[in-house]
Amino acid sequence: MRVSVLYPAMPTDPRHVAPFAALVRDEGAARLWQGQSLCADTQQVFAYLAGMGYRVPVGTSVALMPLRHPLDTAIQARSMSVLTGHRTTLGLGPATPDVVAGLHGKPYDSPRDACVEYLTEVRRLIGTEDGVAGPGIGAAIGLPGLSHPGVETGLGVLRPTLARAAGRVADAAISWMTPPGYVRDTLLPAMAKGAAESGRPVPRMVTVVHAAVDRPGRHAYRLAFAAAHVHLAGPHYCDMLRRAGLRVHHSRPGLGARALVDSGVFLYGTPGHIAAQLAEFDRAGVDEVVVNVAGVYSEHGRPDAVRDLQEILAACREATN
């Protein structure tokens, strides 16, 4: 299993992301991930870092489909691959219905169908496959040839419907805050079903995992709330967690944060303990785990967040030696 790192905020200055990129370049992390940013643009931050000398593998977890036409998404993804010199993981997601309606006038009729159509068109434009776009996207437009290290298309998944869609059209499925048993028993079988329907290989599984090192002056519940309260207020995240056996409700994110800690979904302890818990994802079938120290970043600042990641990565290396 590969262990990667996430920059856990919307960047306002790309130089703030450089210490996280250094963990990939210098300390053995597999990939640098960023989520969707409405501040400094995610792809432009990656480009800035590459210009600084951090030409490392990167991934988006996830870029929101309604913000960009598939043509622009394909251009951006190929550009990231060229600039970093590595195969890029382009993680995409449909966004919430209110965001889609605010941008396009109405929600998607079917988020699943929208994802399948969008990823198929992006793959066609990149040259991954000879896809045919659905209505409304415009398959007649193409891109000029461009040599690049490659683009891996990913789909953000929480529940079986999109996991099955990922099996049909994606190279990777990217989950967030999903317990290892839920990945093994719910998401991976749905992905396998979708892949079988399309005659494709099952996508690899990438999972973003909250973590924090236990240190004096830190409180696990507070860190979990700082890291995850926005997601814990989302009905779709709470539905996923309830399917996984946690007692949560979107109206009570504080209790949800406690449930994350008590169930071990939020990893808290020594670096060695966290490394051992991350290994559970490997046994569940996860190919790449992305360590997210958003709680530490929010409560204690960037240097402490980087320190946690350094120690967790070191513990993971020691565990595999």
pLDDT by residue (tens digit) across 40-75? 999 999 999 999 999 999 999 999 999 999 999 999
Buried b (16+ CB within 10 A) or exposed e, 86-115: bbbbbbbbbbbeeebeeeeeebbeebeebb
Between these two residues, 156 and 128, which has the higher pLDDT value?
156
CA angle 181, 61, 83 (to 5 degrees): 135
Q: pTM here?
A: 0.95
On average, the pLDDT of the chain sits at 95
176-190 pLDDT, tens per residue?
Answer: 999 999 999 999 999
Q: Binning pLDDT at 50, 70 and 90, where does residue 310 land?
A: very high
The domains located in the chain, with CATH, are 2-320 (3.20.20.30)
pLDDT in the model for residue 83: 98
Q: Is the pLDDT of residue 139 over 80?
A: no
The percentage of the chain sitting over the pLDDT mark of 70, rounded to a whole number, equals: 96
Q: What is the pLDDT of residue 130?
A: 41
The whole-number average pLDDT for the span 152-178 is 98
Residue 136 in this model has a pLDDT that exceeds 80: no
pLDDT in tens, 208-257: 999 999 999 999 999 999 999 999 999 999 999 999 999 999 999 999 99
What's residue 141's pLDDT? 83
